[in-house]
Each structure stands twice: as structure tokens, then as C-alpha cells.
Chains A and B, each alone.
Chain A
Amino acid sequence: MTQRVYEKLIDEEGKRVDGREWNELRPIKIEVGVLNNADGSAYIEQGKNKILAAVYGPREAHPRHLTLPDRALLRCRYHMAPFSVEERKSPAPSRREIELSKVIREALEPAIFLEHYPRTAIDLFIEILQADGGTRCAGITVASLALADAGIPMRDLVVACAAGKVGDRIVLDLNDVEDKEGEADVPIAFMPNLNAVTLLQMDGTLTPEEFEQAVNLAIEGCRQIYKMQKDALKARYLAIKKEVEEQ
């Protein structure tokens, strides 16, 4: 299969390859509580990304020697399904996935009251069903919802979004083509109520001014996604309430 080659990542009218404005997010759909077996779960579609997150715990940690005497152990697995990308990805964890698992875990850890539940483990699974750029960010967004759904006490929801430089412009929420062809990518995870950044990475080159612009833009994107996150968390219970009231 041949990929379409884009001559320009941003056209004369300032529109991006998928028709978005520079400061526009991809369409997002979030659902909470999609898996019955898990203690908490959530699903997100962000553009062409499709990601499922499941949380188990807190529970007895196995193997036992991993338990921490002063706090719960958060274990995170970010995994891409073999069919999530155009060329089959080996299902074995790659270097990139191991690193992303660590990065996502560290982005979520500050939000959870781990110290309340010593000697236990919380297992978090993020499964990328379809990937189209920005999966680590969407993964963090959906994972924090799964954690909240599991009833794990948190300081705030964590929301993540990227900004970057594409065709000489700073743009929000890069897709796969923009990520690969563009000049730079800055993913940020953020706790809006506490105004705290829990993940900040950069790939590519930016001037200090551009970097600041990108950070501000990404945080602006985070705030937009945060609203959808909260609505998704409430939606299930509001639906039951409405149903009952109509009877």
C-alpha cells in the first residue's frame, strides 16, 4: 500500500492535511466503563486513534517482592495491537512501548494517592487498537479516566495533548503525518485543577519562543479535552438518572 504524499502540510488557506485549523483538536469521543471484568475502564477515539484502557486494583501485588512498604505499586503497560498500524507490528513489547509505559506511569503517578494503599498494586493496561499519532497523549487521557472509574482516589484527572511545528507553524494535536513530516512535537500531560505538568517531552527542534508557544497551545488543548473527560465520567450516571426520572 502506498501512502499519500502531501506536498504541503498546511495549504494556502492555513488548513492542515485533515482540514483542521492550526488550533483545532481532532474530533474526540470518550466512553467510560466499557469493560465489565475490569475494575475500571475507558475508551477513546481521537481522530483515527482508538484506544482502550483497563485498570485492576488496588490488589495483592504478585510477585510479592515487588510490593512497596509505603505506597501502592502502579504498573503500566502501553501496548500496540499488531493491527494498529499499517505495517504489522510485532506483538512483543518494543523498546518504544517499554519506554512509553514508563513515561505514562510517571505522568499518572503524581495524580494518584498511592501512599494510601501500601503493599498493593494497581495494574493499568493501555491497548492501542488503531494508531494515528499522539497515542501517548490519548493513552494518558483515557488511562486517568479508567483509574477514576475504578474508584482510585486521585488529586485530579490527568489530561494530555501535543502541540508541534508543522510547515513553519505551531499547531495543536498532531496526527501521524504531521508528526512524521513536521519539524517538532511537544506532548504534555497536565492536571488542570492543580495547574501542574506531569509530562513534558520534545522531539525535533524549536526556538525558545516557539517552544513556549507550543507549550501554551498544548495546555490550551488539554483544557478543552479535560471538559470532555469530565463529561464522559458523569455521562453514564446522568443517563441512569434521566432514565429513572422519565419513568
Chain B
Amino acid sequence: MPIFYQNKEIVTPGDLLAEGNYRAGRNTYKVGEKIYASRPGLLEYNEKEVRVVALNAFYIPSVGDLVIGKVVEVNVNGWVVDINSPYLAVLRASDVLERSFKPQRDELTEILDAGDLLIAKVTSFDRTRAPTLTMREMGLGKITRGQIVKVTPTKIPRVIGRKGSMINMLKKETGCRITVGQNGVILISGRRLEDERLAIQAIRKIEHEAHTSGLTDRVAEMIRREKMKEEPKHDTESL
């Protein structure tokens, strides 16, 4: 059962990755016993599975995902939400309100209007119909403050890091609250604009260097360096 590339090696679509009794994981496909790559990315494998971590991809909704989206349309009984995916999502009014929705009583634009940003969870999706969302859970709802950064959805696991190492470091070092949407949209809200800027800069670096190793340390170092640069400036301002 040979594997034709090294772990973490960059592969391109059509590359024959492995032959034999493996499971074809993400971004691969199987023809007979042969497994090929379907996206450019880094190869990862173990005894059971061969998969590719894509370098660039788009978001395909999956039930239970936390996503950050933007209202693009207000309908009679709900909203249409852009969730940074090929498919627009539907958010029904009954999935937002704590009580049942009565069209004669509730004005939907007062709850959410076109252009509003929100945090929601995917409740269903099967590619034949639009994905549906809900906001009736803790931590979900309309976004009122902070900044938004977009990264390619496959790099979200890198932003979170192993067991949340990267995201926890980011939160600690910048003092920002960071909400990561599985669709590649990240919400950052901090006490100061500088903190938010620093967090965004760090996330940009993570996205840019996602396919390299030792990233958490490098990002931590960058944040400390930037903070050092910032400190003296504040002193002069206060004088």
C-alpha cells in the first residue's frame, strides 16, 4: 500500500497520492484502489486515511457549524443571509424570536435589517435546498461591535490551532474577544482599536503562512514585537 508523497508535501489536482486500502479523505477522490488529489494543498495521511488540506477553498455549509453572515434580503417570514458560501442561507423569524412569529405583530426589519451582521448556527443543508440557520442559542445573535476579517475557510483550523492553542494565544496577547466562524469569517472586538488591528494583522499572517510549521511561536513573537513598537508612542502621546 504505497503512498507516493511525503507528509505535508504540496500536491496538485490529479496527483496520484496513494494506492491500496485507504479511505479517501478531504479533497481527494478514489478510482478503484487509487487515490488522487482534487485540490492543491498539503498531503496528510495515517494508516487509515489519506487527505489533503486545501490551500484555498470555499465554504460548504455543514450542520452545527458556527457561521458569521450578513443579511442581504428581508422576506415576509425571515431573512436571506450571505454566509460566504456558494449557497445563500435562510434564517426564519421563528428561529430568531424567543416566541412564535406573528406577521401582524412583528416588524422584521426592526430585528434585523439588510446589511446587519450576525452570528448563527447551521441547522440543515443538503445541497438541493438553501441552508437554514438559527440564532436561538447562547452566543448567537446580531453583531453590534468589532471588526470582521475573512480568511479562506480551510485555514480556520490553523487560526484555532491544536486544541485552541493559537486562538487562546491570540486572545491572551491582544486582549480581544475573537469569534471564529467556520465559514472563514472572524469577528474581533477589543477595548482599543490598536488591539483589534494587532489581532487582524496576526490573523493575516496566519493565513499567509498557514502551510508552514512553528507558526504559533512566530505569531506570538510578532505580536510582542508590535506591542513594543507601540508602547513608546503612547508615552509621548500622554506627555
Contact = CB atoms under 8 A, between A and B. Distances in A.
A117 to B, nearest CB: 6
B38 A150 contact: no
Given A240-B211, A244-B209, A149 B38 contact: no
A151 B152 contact: yes
Given A151-B39, A244-B218, A118 B127 contact: yes
Which of the four size classes fits the interface of chain B? 20 to 34
Given A39-B58, A151-B58, A191 B212 contact: no
A148 interface: yes
Given A39-B58, A150-B56, A155 B29 contact: yes
A129 to B, nearest CB: 24
A118 B152 CA distance: 21
Interface stretch (A92-100, A181-189, A231-239): A231-239
Contacts of A113: 29, 38
Interface of chain A, helix or strand or loop or mixed?
Answer: mixed
A108 B52 CA distance: 22
Interface residues of A, number: 38
Contacts of A157: 12-14
21 contacts: A58-B58, A59-B86, A60-B86, A60-B87, A120-B87, A149-B56, A151-B54, A151-B55, A151-B56, A151-B58, A152-B39, A155-B13, A156-B13, A157-B12, A157-B13, A193-B14, A193-B16, A233-B40, A237-B40, A237-B211, A240-B212
Interface of B: 10, 12-16, 27, 29, 36, 38-40, 54-58, 60, 86-88, 127-128, 152, 154, 208-209, 211-212, 218
Given A151-B39, A151-B56, A153-B27, 18 more contacts: A39-B58, A60-B86, A113-B29, A117-B127, A149-B40, A151-B54, A152-B39, A154-B13, A154-B14, A155-B14, A156-B36, A157-B13, A192-B14, A234-B10, A237-B10, A238-B10, A241-B212, A247-B218
